Amino acid sequence: MTEQHSHQFERGTDGPKVIVVGVDGSDSSLRAAAYAGGLARRQGALLAVVYVQPVLAGGAALGASVAETTDEIAEELVAQIREATERVKGIFDIRWEFHTFRGDPYSGLVQTADELKADAVVVGASEQAGHRFVGSVAVRLVKSGRWPVTVVP
């Protein structure tokens, strides 16, 4: 007598349901956002786009308001994301939300990923030479070992 197992078809995916992507306006972060957007679309996941506005010590001494500048960057990033989603509207549907606040990029991404119970984090590779020695946000995220981290070149 052979034993038969009942196999039931499962709708949906076993992939990520919430994907956090860090953006800062750099080319690599925008490539990371595009990659994460494609992944979110294919998986039917929520894409949480995070821009952590850096707090620069002594920023006021530079003569320009750092807070105003980072607010402008945040507004520009939201505009770029909205424009991109409008271009593909009707062809691809993607659920996304934008989060921005001031602080350390690593801490901001960790906080957002924890709050949203993210299944994956996507970031661009650092474009700063010093990060090869000190460690980038991407390296710190990988070392934390809390989520799968994809680093997009």
Domain ranges of the chain: 16-55+68-149
pLDDT in tens, 29-76: 888 988 999 999 889 999 999 988 877 655 455 555 666 777 787 788
State the pLDDT at residue 111.
94
What's this model's pTM, rounded to 2 decimal places? 0.75
State the pLDDT at residue 75.
80
Q: How far apart are CA 111 and CA 119, in angstroms?
A: 13
State the pLDDT at residue 35.
93
State the pLDDT at residue 32.
92
- CATH classification (class only), 16-55+68-149: alpha beta
Q: Considering only 2-11, 13-22, 25-34, which range has the smallest mean pLDDT? A: 2-11
Cβ atoms 93, 121 nearer than 8 A: no
Alpha helices in the chain (DSSP H): 27-43, 66-88, 105-115, 131-134, 137-144
pLDDT tier at 133, thresholds 50, 70, 90? very low
Q: What Cα–Cα distance (Å) separates residue 138 from each residue in 46, 54, 57, 78, 142?
A: 21, 16, 23, 22, 6
pLDDT in tens, 74-121: 788 777 777 766 666 666 678 888 888 888 889 999 999 999 999 999
Q: Residue 134 above 50 pLDDT?
A: no
